[in-house]
Amino acid sequence: MTSTAQHLTTALDGQWAKVRQDVRRQLSRPEFAPHYTPNTLIARTKVNEQLRLLAAEKVAEPGFRTESGGTGDPGAAVTMIEMLAMSDLSLMVKAGVQWGLFGGAIENLGTTRHHEAYIRPLIELELPGCFAMTETGHGSDVQSIETTATYDPTTKEFVIDSPTESATKNYIGGAAETARTAAVFAQLITAGPGEEPTGHGVHCLVVPIRDADGTDLPGVTTSDHGYKGGLPGVDNGRIAFHGVRVPKDNLLNRFADVADDGTYSSSIENPNRRFFTMLGTLVRGRVTVGGAAGAAAQVALTIAVRYGLERRQFHNTDTGEEVVIMDYLSHQRRLLPLVARSYALRFAQNELVTRMADIQSRSDVDATEQRELEGRAAGLKAANTWHASRAIQEAREACGGAGYMAENRLIGLRADTDVFTTFEGDNVVLSQLVAKELLTAYADEVRSRDAIGWIKFAASTVGDEVMKRTAAAPFIQTLLDTRQDNEEEGSLFNRGTQIKMLEDREEYLIYTAAMRLRAADKRLESQFEAFNFVQDHILHVAQAHIERVELEAFVAAIERCEDPPAKEILEDLCDLYALDVIAADRAWFIEHRFISTERAKAVTRGLNERCRTLRPHARILVDGFGVPEAMLDAPMLTDD
């Protein structure tokens, strides 16, 4: 690897570079060599072995506070799990379920008694768990799940039930075979002395589901989903509960508790706010999923670009030689902008992890900060996972028939990441969450409403809010202040011009979405219809926002880079990213008079120009991702 590539790796690795290097070494061991089998028995056995190897090295400790038995480094925790994606996404998901979701629920929703009882055992994999939230009937709309946890004061127990078929817990990773215990989300029902039983909304309880032999406990019925679109190493399954009793202490009671006599209490009075506060503490799952999808895309792009630099097809009639396929403009256009976006997303993801680590290591977090974090995590989860689907697919097609052979890794990466766009929050729903956050301009009480119930809040304050820069704010301001003075005249390769275009787009979209929502609300019958009338506009807001965040992070990363050749490459790559974003939405930019038609044509020319500029650096660009050679074991690659 060249020194320039190493500097690119340094830029991409960010704050937890050491963790990344540790995992790279770990994954280079033969036990973690990429392997492909759709056979679930083989795949599950292999992944469980790998998970045990990792557990033996206590890799999960950083994910938990020192008081709980960990080492308290959440940034390291998500980075470690995310990096596992380079070897096997099934392994990443299993680790994520055990330590991120199951462990995270106990850590963040539980109190000392839970931490003492469960954290060390789950770190060491003595307590294999699962995260039982989604049900057959409700996935995106968690507030409507049907599983009940009814308090029985006579025995001081909760009784867990799946009252309908649609209440069955569904798609739960670990539920089919390995999990002994579940963090179960259920509607909490209790009655204080002399009261009628009342529902207090969704809460989480620790519920044992299997004995040491792996047999379902009484009242618990698990089953196996069998074949899925990918992730053969993950034993997804269903869980149904019928009169399953757990001690009262099993309620994870950080935010709400039930007294022995059945009296319910909570530090958060508003039930919706309580629900979203609980969910908010689980943000790490989304952060990890986004990062892991990004890592998988890097592996695929590395393989495809290296193949594109080896493979030749059709003769150049002038030279008589066969043309290296990466020399075709169409091949550059299909792969290099995706490489650029991978950089942008990684830089943005790094900023997100830093922010998350900062917030999660403080005891005083204000609601606005927390909500911004959740919005960013949702947006980058959607952006990273959609990008991974697209990039890995393009990589596969760019390698033709060879790309379809399992041995060359691409189709496994594609199949395994496919579900990432719809699990841990469906991307369309998450995009709405991002837009809602921007549109409602931080009005606290709005959060608790349905996706479609927030219209009346829209636009009340929009326009007064100053756009918050998410990275390198002073530097970006300088770029803006020193650029030529409008979009039309500044060079398309001028960073200030690019930033201004993405900022203007976002601001305009937010403002007009709010205006349209308000108008539609007056004109149409129901809030649902009003929301629905502008739903495409709302999704556009989210995209515009996240792309601006990505560009800002890219700019900040360039500023930090200290190696001139690496910096120059990053500058060109950032142009490619920005022009790719603008080109994809250039109809909008013209329609809203942000650029002229002539200017729009120049965007496409600029995109081709930057592809040509970067073509000689193609190998260095993917080397920069720092994917260990052991992860690139694709027989179709014959050069080093």
By the rule CB under 8 A, 144 interacts with a copy of itself: yes
**Do residues 167 and 145 make contact, with C-beta atoms less than 8 angstroms apart?**
yes
> At 218, which helix (H) or strand (E)?
none
Measured distance CA(125)–CA(54) in Å, rounded? 10
By the rule CB under 8 A, 319 interacts with a copy of itself: yes
- Contacts with a copy of itself by CB under 8 A: the residue count is 82
**Do residues 449 and 433 make contact, with C-beta atoms less than 8 angstroms apart?**
no
**Do residues 453 and 421 make contact, with C-beta atoms less than 8 angstroms apart?**
no
DSSP E strands in 443-545: the ranges are none
Angle at Cα 512 formed by Cα 508 and Cα 518, nearest 5°? Answer: 155
Measured distance CA(571)–CA(495) in Å, rounded? 9
**Which among 79-87, 91-99, 318-326, 490-498 is the span making contact with a copy of itself, rule CB under 8 A?**
318-326
**Do residues 444 and 367 make contact, with C-beta atoms less than 8 angstroms apart?**
yes
Contacts of 354 (CB under 8 A, 6+ apart): 14, 15, 75
By the rule CB under 8 A, 45 interacts with a copy of itself: no
By the rule CB under 8 A, 543 interacts with a copy of itself: no
Long-range pairs, 213-220, Cβ under 8 A, ≥24? 214/177, 217/244, 218/244, 219/160, 219/243, 219/244, 219/245, 220/244
Work out which of 215, 361, 478, 604 binds a copy of itself, going by CB under 8 A. Answer: 604
Measured distance CA(247)–CA(258) in Å, rounded? 12
Residue 115 or 306 having the CB closest to a copy of itself: 306
By the rule CB under 8 A, 139 interacts with a copy of itself: yes
**Residues 511-547, buried b or exposed e (16+ Cβ, 10 A)?**
ebbbebbbebbeeeeebeebbebbeeebbbbbbbbbb
Work out which of 313, 477, 478, 484 binds a copy of itself, going by CB under 8 A. Answer: 313
**Which among 13-21, 288-296, 566-574, 587-595 is the span making contact with a copy of itself, rule CB under 8 A?**
587-595
Min dist CB 146 to a copy of itself, Å, is 12
By the rule CB under 8 A, 456 interacts with a copy of itself: no
**Which among 25-33, 155-163, 401-409, 571-579 is the span making contact with a copy of itself, rule CB under 8 A?**
401-409
Angle at Cα 267 formed by Cα 251 and Cα 426, nearest 5°? Answer: 65
CA-only gyration radius of the chain, Å: 25
Min dist CB 41 to a copy of itself, Å, is 11
By the rule CB under 8 A, 587 interacts with a copy of itself: yes
Residue 624 identity (one-letter amino acid): G
By the rule CB under 8 A, 389 interacts with a copy of itself: yes
Residues 605-624 that bind a copy of itself (CB under 8 A): 608
By the rule CB under 8 A, 428 interacts with a copy of itself: yes
Residue 120 or 228 having the CB closest to a copy of itself: 228
**Which among 254-262, 370-378, 451-459, 573-581 is the span making contact with a copy of itself, rule CB under 8 A?**
451-459
Q: Is 635 helix (H, G, I), strand (E, B) or coil?
A: coil
By the rule CB under 8 A, 591 interacts with a copy of itself: yes
Long-range pairs, 309-313, Cβ under 8 A, ≥24? 309/618, 309/619, 309/639, 310/637, 310/638, 310/639, 311/399
Work out which of 120, 156, 225, 371 binds a copy of itself, going by CB under 8 A. Answer: 225
Min dist CB 397 to a copy of itself, Å, is 6
Residue 424 annotated among the catalytic residues of the structure: yes
Work out which of 217, 323, 324, 359 binds a copy of itself, going by CB under 8 A. Answer: 323
By the rule CB under 8 A, 141 interacts with a copy of itself: yes
Work out which of 528, 560, 563, 565 binds a copy of itself, going by CB under 8 A. Answer: 528
Residue 45 identity (one-letter amino acid): T
Q: Which of 146, 424, 506, 507 is catalytic?
A: 424
Count other Cβ atoms within 10 Å, centred on residue 480: 15
Measured distance CA(79)–CA(284) in Å, rounded? 11
Which of 38, 43, 84 minimizes the C-alpha distance to 60? 84
**Do residues 576 and 554 make contact, with C-beta atoms less than 8 angstroms apart?**
no
Min dist CB 87 to a copy of itself, Å, is 18
Residues 276-305 that bind a copy of itself (CB under 8 A): none
Distances in Å between the Cα of 335 and the Cα atoms of 351, 582, 632 are 25, 17, 17
Binding flags for a copy of itself, 149-188, as an x/- string (CB under 8 A): ---------------------xx-----------------
Work out which of 217, 365, 452, 480 binds a copy of itself, going by CB under 8 A. Answer: 452
Work out which of 453, 477, 489, 523 binds a copy of itself, going by CB under 8 A. Answer: 453
Residues 402-421 that bind a copy of itself (CB under 8 A): 403-407, 410-411, 414-415, 418-419, 421
Work out which of 329, 443, 467, 473 binds a copy of itself, going by CB under 8 A. Answer: 329
Going by the DSSP 8-state scheme, the letter that residue 135 receives in this structure is B
By the rule CB under 8 A, 131 interacts with a copy of itself: no
Count other Cβ atoms within 10 Å, centred on residue 60: 25
By the rule CB under 8 A, 393 interacts with a copy of itself: yes
Work out which of 217, 520, 600, 630 binds a copy of itself, going by CB under 8 A. Answer: 600
Min dist CB 620 to a copy of itself, Å, is 22
Residues 487-526 that bind a copy of itself (CB under 8 A): 525-526
Token duo for residue 505: 């787009």
Min dist CB 623 to a copy of itself, Å, is 25
**Which among 307-315, 357-365, 568-576, 619-627 is the span making contact with a copy of itself, rule CB under 8 A?**
307-315
Work out which of 214, 400, 463, 564 binds a copy of itself, going by CB under 8 A. Answer: 400
**Do residues 169 and 240 make contact, with C-beta atoms less than 8 angstroms apart?**
yes
By the rule CB under 8 A, 535 interacts with a copy of itself: yes
Measured distance CA(526)–CA(533) in Å, rounded? 11
Measured distance CA(637)–CA(407) in Å, rounded? 11
Min dist CB 316 to a copy of itself, Å, is 4
Active site residues: 424
